[in-house]
Amino acid sequence: MSGNLNYIIRRLLYLIPVLLGVCGLVFLLFNVVAGDPTMLLLGKHADAQQMADLKAQLGLDKSLIAQYFDIVKSAFTFDFGRSWATKQQITEMLYQGAIPSLTLTIPGFFISTVMSLMIAIFVAYYRGKGIDLFIRTLAIALMSTSSLVYILVFQKYLAFELGLFEISGYEYGFPSFIPYIALPVVIWVVMSIGPDVRFYRTLILDEIYQDYVRTARAKGLSEKKILFKHVLRNALIPVITYTVVNLPFLILGALLLESFFSIPGLGGLTLSAVNASDFPVIKAMAILSAIAYILFTLVSDILYTLVDPRVKLN
């Protein structure tokens, strides 16, 4: 237990140099490579005095070192200042955007993951048979269809013509938001289930052809017992890696779904910030994404030890 705790503490300490590096990269991209943001905000016809006034207002008249440490400070305090475009506190904007995004992405991700894993187990059990071929073909067809097609077709027929779902909008508070995220969640599941089923099926089949499975069959264990007691447990580590690594991206929201369904989430916030050259908001999203990725990677390492006692955190 103490070894695991030491490992977790070390990994959390690693967050410091990684964050410093991320801040350095963000600083280079937005303060060096991107050029003078006042030109983007004021336009090419702005005079020198206007640009100087705006630089002072935005804190861009500071030295480059001072601007870098401002980014570092924001990463550790979560105080990202104010948006250039809306003048709002960025922390408040992120909080307001995170609620709609997470109410959409968490149910969509959870439902698609569970369904895909169950279908993958089913087709792996009936591998080589007609149902396996049919579901694999269907999965490829789902993967080959553009996400825009799903959004436009489902929105037109299920929401507009049949009136089964709300066509757009969002209301805060449970359960008021449910009618508005229902169709986007359905689309999320349909878009995700194809690639997920193929991936999970491959993982399970890789385990099925291992030597320990042949040994288990030789001992007279049933195919179902082998599949659920041995194969699935050994396949959980790559499954955990695949799912946990995708979790940080849920924080960014679903850009297309939020845009087409007018959901005021972080995806739309990021898109608006890019269109408005609102660098502080973009910086905040980049830093939060890096922190989330590091933390969820640590969570995946801890989960490894729970599903497989042979794995030690060192």
Note the pLDDT tens digit of each residue in 18-34.
888 888 888 888 776 66
Confidence of residue 243 (pLDDT cuts 50, 70, 90): confident
Question: CB of 241 within 8 A of CB of 286?
Answer: no
pLDDT (tens digit per residue) in 75-131 = 888 888 888 888 899 999 999 998 999 999 999 999 999 999 999 999 988 888 999
- For the chain, the 3-state helix, strand and coil shares in percent, each to the nearest 5, are 75, 0, 20
For residues 298 and 220, the model is more confident at 220
In this structure, what are the phi and psi dihedrals at residue 82, rounded to the nearest 5 degrees?
Answer: -115, 150
Question: CB of 271 within 8 A of CB of 259?
Answer: yes
For residues 246 and 185, the model is more confident at 185
Q: Which of 157-171, 238-252, 264-278 has the highest mean pLDDT?
A: 157-171
Instruction: Calculate the CA dihedral of residues 105, 109, 112, 118 and round it to 10 degrees.
Output: -160
> In the predicted model, is pLDDT for residue 292 greater than 90?
no
Task: Decide: helix, strand or coil at residue 293.
Answer: helix
Peptide bond just before 175 cis, omega within 30 deg: yes
Percent of the chain with pLDDT over 90: 30
